[in-house]
Chains A and B, each alone.
Chain A
């Protein structure tokens, strides 16, 4: 937790910056920076989403309702069959807006619209202790900490306190599946179960 090896004075150096500085810009550097940084060069859109977390929260609530309304359609075609096209759209839309990593169990509504899978440690329950004083990531010195942003985003949201619920470990078997469809299917199942329970209660009431 606190291992410190005193060395010569100098600016903050991480592996990424070391490698980056080691060769001139024109050289081919296969390892260059960390994999995440290589994929992700700009954070502008991700940060826009966090700033507009309230709007997105409102929009997603409508969107989820619409998806639930379409449940008979999904069921008619078959959830398995629509999975492919829906995932295609979801991956691109969420990838553009949030740098989504397709964990398949989206918790953006609980994390201030800042995707926790972008955290190099993939923390889903809050920031680690290594956040830099300027609010940037310990591992990726150029990246604003996902969880600092998540806290800011959640402060704007109506259900911002959802950030306080403890999230279960990621189910890796759900990777690359559509979270939209899963949530819809679950909500539909819950609705049917509630209706069945109500009917059952009514029936027993009638028979009694």
Chain B
């Protein structure tokens, strides 16, 4: 038998954890962050399929390396399995998903319903985003909703959690217990407004933030200096977005085509100069992690390795950010094992029983 892990409900991995004082959610990510451990989160590439195995397989490669998995909500305005659906599957298996909610596709009625539904399924973390414009995705003819913005969405979630009310003031019988997150982009203009914007997000209810891809460490350092001066690092956990670049060509493409991602020339030069650009991209990511983890006020990293998910484990391992700690990992429990042992014959042997046979064996 494998012993019960830290941050796991003894009655079942799919159940929320015991409430702790000072915690607003019953999830694993908040516990890790509040213990002061360096957190690692990542993003699950949402499948274009209706097969739950696709989600499980994509989550499996992060096993034992990350504290929470972002379930993206049609990122880049491209159609994929919904974040609510991915969260439903992940919570069943005991993972700690971060449910992303984008304001692009849903109005306040749908969003509040999803917050309740997600929380009921055991989603402890929700990340409130504005969302990319529809023009960025595969269906640019869609109607952009943007009924709320990320700030009012955060506030809506906070009101639901703390006041136990909908935005309309109607009461909830059981309020959701949530750890609220937001996104920051320190690398886009207006640069001097960005720290204040984080302050607004904290005022609206953000407890943790994940940043956009950080490739420019000096720029991020200046941002963090300002954020520390304003005293926001005590009120909010900051996770830095990092990720491997596949090649110099990809980097250039991202720089020109993906709004909001800032890649300095030095990074491209470094990739171009390398023999194996993919390996260099990974090494660059590890180097950035090693630099940013030393910046005071940084509580973790958010590793986004789109279509290179298999590198997440290597990046986390080689950067050594976990310091020997092993995040929760899905394991086969004793009872599961027992069922598997006893029922293996049924599962794997190909027996076709007829009702007549069954009656005979019963006698």
State whether the Cβ of A122 lies closer than 8 Å to any Cβ in chain B. yes
How far does the Cβ of A192 sit from chain B's closest Cβ, in whole Å? 25
How far does the Cβ of B13 sit from chain A's closest Cβ, in whole Å? 28
Given known contacts A130-B259, A138-B260, A166-B200, A120 and B133 CB-to-CB distance under 8 angstroms:
yes
How far does the Cβ of B163 sit from chain A's closest Cβ, in whole Å? 15
Chain B residues closer than 8 Å to A167, beta-carbon distance: 151-152
Instruction: Report how far A4 CA is from B132 CA in the complex, Å.
Output: 12
Closest chain A residue, CB of each to CB of B102: A1
Q: Are B135 and A139 closer than 8 Å at their CB atoms?
A: yes
Given known contacts A125-B150, A129-B188, A2 and B261 CB-to-CB distance under 8 angstroms:
yes
Given known contacts A120-B144, A121-B146, A128 and B130 CB-to-CB distance under 8 angstroms:
yes
Given known contacts A2-B213, A167-B152, A129 and B185 CB-to-CB distance under 8 angstroms:
yes
Closest chain B residue, CB of each to CB of A10: B256
**Interface SS of chain B: helix, strand, loop or mixed?**
mixed
Chain B residues closer than 8 Å to A123, beta-carbon distance: 130, 146, 149-150
Given known contacts A2-B75, A164-B199, A9 and B253 CB-to-CB distance under 8 angstroms:
yes
Given known contacts A1-B129, A2-B243, A166-B203, A130 and B151 CB-to-CB distance under 8 angstroms:
no
Q: Are A164 and B146 closer than 8 Å at their CB atoms?
A: no
Chain B residues closer than 8 Å to A12, beta-carbon distance: 256-257
Chain A residues closer than 8 Å to B254, beta-carbon distance: 4, 6
Q: Are A2 and B43 closer than 8 Å at their CB atoms?
A: yes
Chain B residues closer than 8 Å to A15, beta-carbon distance: 135, 140
How far does the Cβ of A151 sit from chain B's closest Cβ, in whole Å? 4
Q: Are B135 and A166 closer than 8 Å at their CB atoms?
A: no
Interface string of B183-225 (1 = CB under 8 A from A): 1110011101100110110011000000011000000000000
Instruction: Report how far A151 CA is from B197 CA in the complex, Å.
Output: 11
Chain B residues closer than 8 Å to A138, beta-carbon distance: 132-133, 136, 259-260
Q: Are A169 and B148 closer than 8 Å at their CB atoms?
A: yes
Chain B residues closer than 8 Å to A169, beta-carbon distance: 108, 147-149, 152, 156, 167
Q: How many A-B residue pairs have CB under 8 A?
A: 163
Chain A residues closer than 8 Å to B213, beta-carbon distance: 2
Given known contacts A2-B241, A164-B199, A121 and B259 CB-to-CB distance under 8 angstroms:
no
Instruction: Report how far A203 CA is from B193 CA in the complex, Å.
Output: 49
Q: Are A122 and B259 closer than 8 Å at their CB atoms?
A: no
Q: Are B204 and A121 closer than 8 Å at their CB atoms?
A: no
Within 8 A of A (CB), among B227-259: 241, 243, 246, 249-250, 252-254, 256-259
- Number of A residues whose C-beta is below 8 Å from B? 47
Q: Are A6 and B146 closer than 8 Å at their CB atoms?
A: no
Instruction: Report how far A132 CA is from B147 CA in the complex, Å.
Output: 23
Closest chain B residue, CB of each to CB of A13: B257
Within 8 A of B (CB), among A116-151: 120-133, 135, 138-139, 145, 147-148, 151
Q: Are A164 and B200 closer than 8 Å at their CB atoms?
A: yes
Chain A residues closer than 8 Å to B133, beta-carbon distance: 120-121, 130, 138-139
State whether the Cβ of B28 lies closer than 8 Å to any Cβ in chain A. no
State whether the Cβ of A186 lies closer than 8 Å to any Cβ in chain B. no
Q: Which of B78, B147, B188 contacts A127 (CB 8 A)?
A: B188
Instruction: Report how far A86 CA is from B243 CA in the complex, Å.
Output: 54
Within 8 A of B (CB), among A4-24: 4-16
How far does the Cβ of A208 sit from chain B's closest Cβ, in whole Å? 37
State whether the Cβ of A34 lies closer than 8 Å to any Cβ in chain B. yes
How far does the Cβ of A168 sit from chain B's closest Cβ, in whole Å? 6
Q: Are B188 and A9 closer than 8 Å at their CB atoms?
A: no
Pull 13 A–B residue pairs with CB atoms less than 8 Å apart, ordered by A: A2-B258, A2-B306, A13-B257, A121-B131, A121-B149, A125-B200, A126-B197, A127-B189, A129-B185, A130-B132, A164-B196, A166-B204, A167-B152
| Further 7 A-B residue pairs, CB within 8 A, beyond A1-B304, A4-B257 | A2-B212, A2-B243, A122-B146, A123-B146, A129-B185, A130-B132, A133-B262
